[in-house]
Amino acid sequence: GVEIALKMAIQYHKNAGSHDKTQILALEKAYHGDTIGTMSVGTRSVFHKLYEPLLFDVNHVASPADEFDFASGKVKVEASEAALADLEALLKRKADQICGFILEPLIQGAGGMKFYSTEYLKGARKLCDQYDVFLIADEVFVGTGRLGTYFAFEQAGVWPDIIALSKGLSGGYFPFAATLSTEKVYQ
């Protein structure tokens, strides 16, 4: 599902004549899978060394997910503000080259179960709209009701351009994924 989401973002901009918008933007400490594209957008580790020649370059921005206060059970808003400032700074410099921004809404799962606020998602949606960059929600881990709402991003009251779903669709019984998009991307 995530691999197809990345391809859709790139293909949309190629088809629309924006041939320079081929780069992907992702959060630091992210995990999106183990195919070539998904390894490229995730945080690289010793497990990826063998595949390094095959992986493409990705722009990474600060994760908002480092400031969960376990004592209060709340996310520190300052982390989201700093991460949004980092996102905006990168988009100001490179938006003409970036076709999509992928993130795991509200929790970076394999990256350490790191939580972040809905405010970050709201801000990211606004910046993606402002800079003509697709917001891609990797809902493979957090989707299908695992966080209360069917989609995790619903809690922020935003809607991404492309959504990748998987694990909750089959209960992990067999490999099954779906990639959803807005009508704009579909057309």
CA distance 149 to 62: 26
Residue 53 has a CB neighbour count (10 Å cut-off) of 6
pLDDT in tens, 33-77: 888 888 888 888 777 788 888 988 899 999 888 666 666 766 666
Asked whether the CA dihedral 31, 131, 135, 3 is positive or negative, the reply is: negative
The SS3 call for residue 18 is coil
Q: What is the pLDDT of the chain when averaged over all its residues?
A: 88
Q: In the predicted model, is pLDDT for residue 18 greater than 70?
A: yes
pLDDT by residue (tens digit) across 70-99?
667 666 667 778 899 999 999 999 999 999
